[in-house]
Amino acid sequence: MAKDIGIDLGTANVLINVSGKGIVLNEPSVVAVNTKDNQVVAVGTEAYEMVGRTPGNIRVIRPLKNGVIADFDITEAMLSYFIEKLNVKGFMAKPNILICAPTGVTSIEQKAIIQAAEKSGGGKVYLDFEPKVAAVGAGLDIFKPQGNMVIDIGGGTTDIAVLSMGEIVTARSLRWAGDKMNQAIVAYIKNNRNLLIGARTAEQIKIEIGSAFEPDPEKTITVRGRDMVDGLPKQTTVTAPEIQEALHDGLMQIVAATKQVLEQTPPELSADIIDRGIMLTGGGALLQGLDKLISYYLQVPVLTADSPLEAVALGTGALLKNIEKHQGH
């Protein structure tokens, strides 16, 4: 009997949930390839350690961009590696796989995701949408006739959806999420300090002092990078309010998109959302003060899931239990 597996195939991280075991794998969606012979050198955490630090013949590739497969072969190699690592393949049986995609993916992109999972050793492959799965993982009962709203902020996409009776009623997918936050920080420091920093450094700044609302002016971080004027290594100190300024325009896009989804929601469901609030999931939900920012502009209570990074993967576990029931895909 093969174990069913749920895969959160994220732009930034891949999480795998094995039925009966819970989340057994959480690694960066990164693959290092030797360009001389196109062989995969490292995958996941090991490859992430190499970002920005490799010799010329080693390329570090992130095969997913904006929640969509940008490099099919590398995605397939990465999935195969992770699935092999779990060793869930029985001698005969192939596991059922439930894999998650952003709401904005086209049918061609959906086929590519399913195909990559099939090729990497899956039996039956099901596809479901991230905000729905995240809502389940965050503990919302989406199968009742009541409105639930989720904002799932991943690495590549922010998915906003209103759910009722197990289905998505209205949704929007934005390609502004964790990666774009990092890019905004890189651009801000480049423009305001003449300092070039890498994406990993930006990620660290975001995690340590990033804030969406009323940042603490006392919070600072020392950043090292390359001076754009003389090209030498240099360090500077950046404050939380500066990072808030760097992220502000992008975060307001999320607020605006959430407002649009609310405006398209049937009034009965809107009333439920005012009562129950909006649930934030995904790694982006960890940005300090994001709940307060959204609540401030939309006048609706906003809650953050208990383990936002794992919400989608946890949701796959719950949905796999009754996978035969929702054979809609």
**Binding-site residue set:** 11-13, 155-157, 203-206, 283-286
What is the rounded CA–CA span in Å between residue 64 and residue 5?
20
DSSP conformational letter for 284: G
Say how far apart CA 113 and CA 99 lie, in whole Å: 8
Do 4 and 97 meet the contact criterion of CB atoms below 8 Å apart?
yes
Collect all residues with Cβ–Cβ distance below 8 Å to 213 and sequence separation of at least 6: 244, 289, 290, 292, 293, 296
Q: Which residues contact 290 (CB under 8 A, 6 or more apart)?
A: 153, 212, 213, 251, 280, 284, 304
d(CA 325, CA 321): 9
245: exposed, middle or buried (C-beta count within 10 Å: 0-12, 13-18, 19+)? middle
Find the angle CA(316)-CA(120)-CA(199) to the nearest 5 degrees: 70
Pairing, β 64-65 against β 97-101: unpaired
Output the known binding site for ATP: 11-13, 155-157, 203-206, 283-286
Element (H, E) at 207: helix 199-209
CB 50 within 8 A of CB 198: no
Cβ contacts of 233 within 8 Å, gap of 6 or more: 224, 225, 226, 227
